[in-house]
Amino acid sequence: MEFKRNILVTGGAGFIGSHVVRLFVNKYPDYRIVNLDKLTYAGNLANLKDIENAPNYVFVKADICDFETVCQVFKDYAIDGVIHLAAESHVDRSIKDPFTFAKTNVIGTLSLLQAARLAWDGQWEGKRFYHISTDEVYGALKMDGSFFTETTRYQPHSPYSAAKASSDHFVRAFHDTYGLPTVVTNCSNNYGPYQFPEKLIPLFINNIRHRKPLPVYGKGENIRDWLYVVDHARAIDLIFHEGKDGETYNIGGFNEWKNIDLVKVLIRTTDRLLGRAEGEDLDLITFVTDRAGHDLRYAIDSTKLKTELGWEPSLQFEEGIEKTVRWYLEHQDWMDNVTSGDYQRYYEDMYKNR
């Protein structure tokens, strides 16, 4: 079968990546979607069981830092578009192991950029390199109602955000130096199904289910802007197809919550859906020593994306949280499999035998 487009999605077995892969495979049957993922601890092919046999879907187990393999993937599948999501993304892990974050997020991105440049060889028409970044590159906001915009000065405060900031600069440098057709997006905190349970929302839902402590940094005063992952995937689809080369777009939920207030909403919602007295697990909240370099507030201004391309979030936060909590409670096998590590051993064995 000849495909209209051949899109490489990196990190497509991860949280956001799996939602993007699913959307593109289902929405564009005339596109071939090549999912390249190293399958580290956060990559799980069980996230894509529903589309793994689709005729327009291909999975390649590889490391984005392996330049020769990346170049071969471009050649084998005639890649004409890249949606780059593969990254180390957990701040606490970056504090403990900054080298891994620098390697994956910076060198891995550079590997992809150079492979795209060589494969496309100046034939930019119909090509696109789309790099997904984070609002954390901007640093922290004051409690004054201000927002991050596309022109906010970069001021990363953690090894994770510093590595992402560096990768953003490389993407823009390849556009300015070589003419590579790139777009960059910086998004706020995502939540929804299939998120690895080291992140706050799935971790706390699972802990509430098992009545384990809920560790809240400091006094829980840190504020984050929350975006439902399906809405983020919709935005990625729109920007990939209609965004302007060389541009940056911020993607946010216009949805700020203090951590402590978010935790209380999670407790009340989870308790209710478990048939417990609403709020009976509030005593699980445990305040712990604050994270080093913990930014106080993030908030994204998505006005440019709404004005130029017409995107806006589809869900109110209360509806999104209800759907998210319900999903995790209804997919306890998935959660138990992930938290036990069994999924990794299963897929490691699968690919050893191929």
What is the rounded CA–CA span in Å between residue 214 and residue 206?
10
> 31, 57, 160, 328: which one is catalytic?
160
Q: 248 has which bridge partners?
A: 184
Q: Are strands 214-217 and 81-84 parallel, antiparallel or unpaired?
A: unpaired
Active site residue 154: no
With tokens 């589809």, the residue in question is: 314
> 63, 136, 231, 295: which one is catalytic?
136
What is the rounded CA–CA span in Å between residue 19 and residue 187?
15
Residues 187, 169, 197, 255: what is their CA dihedral angle, to the nearest 10 degrees?
-20
Active site residue 342: no
- Answer whether 16's CB lies under 8 Å from 229's CB: yes
- Answer whether 123's CB lies under 8 Å from 107's CB: no
With tokens 């706390």, the residue in question is: 204
DSSP states along 15-35 = HHHHHHHHHHHHH-TTEEEEE
End-to-end CA distance of the chain: 24
- Answer whether 18's CB lies under 8 Å from 54's CB: no
Active site residue 247: no
- Answer whether 260's CB lies under 8 Å from 221's CB: yes
> 37, 135, 168, 256: which one is catalytic?
135
Minimal CA–CA distance to 184: which of 107, 84, 274, 262?
84
Cite the active site residues: 135-136, 160
